[in-house]
Structure 1
Amino acid sequence: MSEGLTAVVVANTAEPVDRIETALDEVYDGVTILESTDGRPAVDCIVAVAPLSDDEWAVVEDAAASASRPPVVVLAGESEAGGHRGPETATVTDVVAGGEDRFERLANRVRGMVEMRRSDDEREQTASVAHLTDLYEVATDASLSFTEKANRMLEIGLDRLDVENAHLSTIDREPEHYEIVASIGDLPIEPGDLMDLPRTFCRKTIETDDVLAFSHASEQGWSDDPAYERSNIECYLGSRVVVGGTLYGTVCFLDRSPHSSFSEAEQTFVSLIARWLSHELERTRREEALETLQGGMTELMRATTKAGVCEIAIGIAGDAVEAPSARAWLLDDDETTLEQVTSLSGNVGSRTLHRGDAGTDRLWAAVDEGEVTTFDSTAVPQNEAASAGTVQSEVVIPLDGFGVVTVSAETAEAFDAIDVSLLKMIGSNTVAALERTEWIEELSAAHERSRRIFESASDGLLLIDPDDDEIVDCNDRATDLFGYDDPESLQSVAASTICPEDRERFEELITEVREGGRGWIEELACAGQDGHRIPLEVTAATIALPEGTRILASLRDISERKRREQALNVFNRVLRHNIRNDMNVVIGRAAMIRDQASDPALERSAAEILKTGRKLTALGEKARTFQKVDERDTDLEQVDLRAILDQISANLEADYPAGTVDVAGAEAAPAAVETTVDVAFRELCENGLQHATTAEPTVSVTVSRVSNGQQFAVTISDEGPGLPSQDCAVLEGETETPLNHGSGLGLWLANWIVRTNGGTITVVESSDRGTTIRLTFPAAE
């Protein structure tokens, strides 16, 4: 038995339908009987039982017109053998007439036709697979040009369909030209041939999304067509070729002789060739456009002004999409006007567009929305198209806040989806180039500002290339420092030769800066052009420049400062020496006079001299202490304030047996200070003992952690008469003035030490009952 069968049976009674199904069951393994195709395209055959009404014949016609084009067999009685056909006789494939065995003969006839059809379909499918394989190999062969691929695909189609000619055309609607692009076969149709579109079958092909197919034009209603009259083409298959969403042309297969009906597979094969040709055309076009863009984009990124960028951009746009007109418009800072800066025609003028100007909606929409806007006269009412003047197609590309580029043509449908895609790409690259010009402008302005600062700096500046030991740049101050006539002369020497005595320290500084980013030397012995010695304080840091990492060195001449320091040191040393030695003489003689004087008045004068001499000696000692503190290493470290205060308490109680320094509070107070704080604590505690109004004075010291946990506080209270206002001013200020110079040197020293260590000092209370001073220091981490 044969495999299953699906058949449509149309009859005016049910009795013959049952008998037909029974007969078919004898020759088929499974039979499905339908009254119509019912949306099912896979119908093997149609059986019509005569006689039928016109409506019933209409069902037969509909079923016969389904996608599978099944054969139609008519079952007629003996009396109807000559009148079996219905209104559409061409539909009927075969007739089984009369006789008792007519149902068996019908079943065998159906089986014969269906099996033959299935064999043909199988052979066609095998052939189709082979041809599809050939098409795939051609389409994926990257070594072939488009023309070579088109010719090979047409050859494959020619062989598959067995017709005389296959060709690819491109169509221009204005005027209605039909141009041959590629042609294969026997007919005299050559690439480059031009035809009038109205006299070709392709004018019908481009109006449908399906394949246009007929196998016998003169019998299928085409005999009066202008294309048939011109060419006598009897069979034809054609499909549209679309590139970028726009009609490109058609691919056609034709013959001057009739052909058997084209199957669905054959029509699908033609549609597939059309799609592949569309894809290849689109790919080729994109590649050619991208090649055009590649060279242009390099030039675009070299432009240094916005106008230059725009001029290059519209040139690229015009070439990429073959546009006759392109313009660039830049937006003002207030975004209220667009000024035309360049056009393909070169005629810029002083054209300015304002918001609300007639005909500018598309431009402002692109500016505000940041999206490409398009215009085509075929897609708008005629009155709007007419208002566009000569522009029938336009694409507006936004430039991300810089403005817009417009590309236009005087013909409709001038730009397709590929054009828009390419223009978007050009727009993105134009924005990048415009941003680069802004960066260049800002960099130039910054460079100019830096240059002015560089030139006007009071210190000498050297820009050094550490790899080549080269002075890349210098300012006038550096030129003067080293005694050169001009900057070029200084730049001609190696950087390390400016300090022949300290070359090793200079190289260490360069290494330090390269590794850590910055460095400093308090004094570097350098030499001028004439060899004279120049002591310089040098601060250096790395700086990143387009040409690489450089070191910027700032040079400060410290010659005058060193002379002042030297003079001050000599003066201080002589002054302290003289005060100490001469006051020792004064104190000794005053003590002798006091002890030997018999006159009470003379004795009192000698005592006053002795007291004043001792105060002056103490003042000198404080100045000496200040110098020692100033010369100590000021790097902060971790110091226990409580331990220092306990030691100071023991020392003062030994020096002042009648006094007490009572330390209480936190058992440990690790602070981020250096050890010079002991001088400040001793000054304040000793001041309280010295100026106490009681015979057995007490100074109370309390150590505590501040509530924020990041500081320690030290509170010192005494029983003295209170600090004079000028001494309070010393503790709350940072300078010594003629109005508060008295006893304030020790207090000023304490204040200076506390503040140098990052602390604070405050007079909490000062009265005749005593003074309370509060100090705070940063806690150690």
Structure 2
Amino acid sequence: MTNTTDTFGPDEVRQYLYDVMRQNRPFREKAEQALVIGRDYLGVENGHLTRLDPETNHWEAIASTDPPDGTYPAGLTLDLQTTYCRRTIDNAAPIALHDAPAQGWADDPAFETHGLHCYHGTQVTVGDELFGTICFVSDAPRAEPFSEEKTMFTELLAQMLGHELERAQHEAALTDRERLIGVLNRVLRHNLRNDMTLLRGYAELLQEEGSPQQVDVAEMLLTTTDDLLALSEKARRLDTVVTNDLEYQRVEMGHFLQTIQAEIEAAVPGATISIEGDTDTYIRVAWSMETALREVIENAAKHAGDSPDVSISVRATDGKARLQVMDTGPGLPEQERTVLRDGAETPLEHGSGLGLWLVYWVVTSHGGTIETTVDETGTTVTISFPRTPAHTLPERLPSRKP
């Protein structure tokens, strides 16, 4: 849609918007089309949907009418305090500026930083929580204020996108839970059946052979039982993750990791775990992230020899937190690296890979990535994720061509 504000009336524009939202297309594509409609209806240069976190002053455009080389493309991040959006989220009603300096905003940090004379911003909420804003902006001022009909349109658009986000998140959560339940069922059926069969066979052997074999067989029984209990515990952790709602909390990385460090050093004899870097960085994560990081660090400590030495490096860059967990062990096996890289879960990987599959699921559900490197010095697992929680969306917005 490339028409001007004089071409369509409010009813026609609303109908265009309804038609877009009824399409069976990914959220980001619908959001982009809706922003184009709004941009043309309001007669401005750009429209964008933002994701905001006031606690970290994070501002990010997640959908935009601008191409990748435009002024406000999708993926752009800014300091919230330099934007008009900081005022929009504090205001119950939309903020409509047709000529910011003439309306008393010449000294505002947003105008001083970006020079936008024209701004129309509306809050977007998901459920009862702030998600971000819908913004329509221009460098040049408008000849006249935005009409009431145009403001009502932006409120309608914000409400519809909020509902679409909520629905997309709900569907993504259901898909993840169904997938996790499926994995749990397969793992428990496969491993419990096989291990219990093995255990029963050893018990029968012990009964039939008598005492000369008792010690050796008893050791086998203990080993199998320990493995089974470890698997059961990992399955329990997965079940806990999938059946609990994602509640994000703001934590300091140093304190977060030191808690895990103390627990693992107490549990793994001889383990030494060091932490360095940007430990004063604050992140907002679900409690499941602690479970995932503990799994990675504990795995490194348990497989790094008799005196395991594990180093943890923390870096904060570009709105992301990056952790590197380095050990001096023999190296993570390829099948377990596949679990971390792809989330693959196959019968051969049920026992050893279940804990790492949990790591993959938690990190990717936070919008993060995992990389593993193995060389002669050991294994390095690198985990990167946004410092600000991103609402899970089913896909990423493809780049627009100019």
The normalised TM-score by structure 1 is: 0.27
Q: Which has the larger radius of gyration?
A: 1
The normalised TM-score by structure 2 is: 0.48
